[in-house]
């Protein structure tokens, strides 16, 4: 799917998002990016069309998930691997990412209000201007003491 005009890539992304989860997984498998199985759960909306376009632009060169501005709100993404994922400005409001692997993830200006990140690995994560009110985090998640204090002051809840 390399070097497709933007409109063609957009149409392909829309067609992908109109498919059922099993059909989406088959497409991801054919592109060699089935490791991003969570894409079978995202809704068809403008934010996700743009996101899927980035994934499909050069699937053979895809190393880390680029989820800038994606709408992952309300999804169950437990155990997902988003190492080095760019989740800047992503909507994760009310999502469950229990026991997810988010090492080096960038949450700049993301919305994690009411999200559940208990048991998630969060070493080296970036939290600049992230909305975290009522976001559930566990203890020992890889956050620094400073990050822990900052997130708690902004409304994150730490469960033992």
Within the chain, residue ranges assigned H as helices are 6-17, 21-31, 46-57, 145-153
Question: Any idea what the CATH number is for the domain that residue 80 is in?
Answer: 2.160.20.80
Q: How many domains does the chain have?
A: 2
Kindly report, residue by residue over 39-66, the tens digit of the pLDDT: 999 999 999 999 999 999 988 888 899 9
Region class of 89: left (phi > 0), else alpha (psi between -120 and 50), else beta: left
74 and 148: one domain?
A: yes
Q: Give the structural domain span for 25.
A: 1-62
82 and 136: one domain?
A: yes
Kindly report, residue by residue over 94-149, the tens digit of the pLDDT: 999 999 999 999 999 999 999 999 999 999 999 999 999 999 998 768 999 999 99
d(CA 72, CA 39): 9
d(CA 138, CA 151): 12
């Amino acid at each position: 799917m390399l070097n497709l005009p933007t409109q063609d890539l957009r149409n392909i992304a829309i067609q992908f998002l109109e498919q059922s989860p099993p059909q989406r997984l088959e497409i991801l498998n054919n592109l060699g990016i089935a490791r991003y199985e969570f894409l079978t759960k995202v809704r068809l909306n403008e934010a996700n069309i743009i996101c899927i376009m980035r994934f499909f632009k050069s699937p053979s060169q895809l190393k880390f998930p680029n989820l800038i501005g994606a709408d992952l709100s309300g999804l169950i993404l437990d155990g997902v691997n988003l190492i080095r994922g760019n989740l800047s400005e992503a909507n994760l409001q009310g999502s469950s990412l229990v026991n997810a692997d988010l090492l080096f993830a960038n949450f700049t200006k993301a919305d994690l209000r009411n999200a559940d990140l208990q048991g998630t690995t969060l070493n080296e994560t970036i939290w600049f201007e992230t909305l975290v009110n009522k976001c559930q985090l566990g203890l020992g998640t890889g956050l620094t003491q400073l990050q822990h204090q900052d997130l708690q002051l902004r409304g994150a809840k730490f469960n033992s």
